[in-house]
Amino acid sequence: MSIAFVFPGQGAQSVGMGRDLYEMSVAARAIFELADATLGFALTRLCFEGPEEALTATENAQPALLTVSAALLASMGELWGAGVNGRECQETITASYVAGHSLGEYSALVAAGAIDIPTALRLVRRRGELMSEAHDGVMAAIIGIDEAELERICRETSAEDAPVVIANYNSPGQLVISGAGTAVERACALAKERGAKRALPLKVSAAFHSPLMRDAAAGLAAALARAAIVDARTPVISNVTTEPLIQADAIRRELIAQVTSPVRWIASVQRMSAEGVDSFVEIGPGSVLTGLIKRLAPDARLVNVSDLASARAFGEHSGVRSRNSE
């Protein structure tokens, strides 16, 4: 069995996430306490109690999701030996690859040992601030149209000063476009004329993963230049190129490019499948990626680890003895 750990991105957050981990896992509680100390405010309370509007704010949602994903992985390490951040453990459960959807790529890099948790928290907090400061453009989900056709529509409706591009290749027939408001509106109308089932505006503050995020990318590049990043122990499948990332310099370039580039999730899952991955374990709140992968790799084993109960169940179903029983 070849396993990939995958980590969700922004939008997976919900008030109350991680509370059971904090209350019942010593290793997970340490992650939450580290997050509060690193960021200088009560992120833990925000995760557990909200309010939802504050948790959903980009600058808060991003470190909150990373914290819960890291806490889940730490609890898995506590139970089964699936270690996090280079900690010594019995490696009874290991991943051949890791990947994350947009923000989730930072959680994947933590799991791969390329970035420590405090550094990742500071980076995603800054990333969230830069993205929330951007107010240009909009995004829309386009349902039920071929990606090649949607790419043609984007080229037809895009202009140099008003671009529109595909931002997320999530699954066949489930794509997201991003760009200037007028261009996105034209692209939505043309997509429906050409057979799209739905074109839904998204509630976001700006045109993420588009050329309109250049200033945010520049700001993040400055933060990344100061960040401690090392070579990954486990290959991280790139959102941008779908190539496995190992070297620290390549990881820095990836995280800068990711801000203005599309998330190629379809090709990322296909790449992992081609490399022999037959089991995908989504680690984080919700189950969005599990649903997407089900369409992309229908024969794969899919596991969702979103709370302590599912972390326990994963190891039990994998035939691994709990470390607590030794």
Q: How many angstroms separate the Cα of 300 from the Cα of each of 200, 279, 290, 294, 318?
A: 30, 5, 11, 8, 14
Which residues, at least 6 apart from 111, have a Cβ–Cβ distance to it below 8 Å?
A: 5, 7, 73, 84, 85, 95, 98, 234, 283
Query: Residue 213: enclosing H or E segment and its boundaries?
Result: none
* Residues catalogued as catalytic: 102, 209
Q: Which two tokens stand for residue 319?
A: 């035939």
Residues, the chain = 326
Handedness of CA 255, 257, 260, 261 (dihedral sign): negative
3, β-bridge pairs: 279
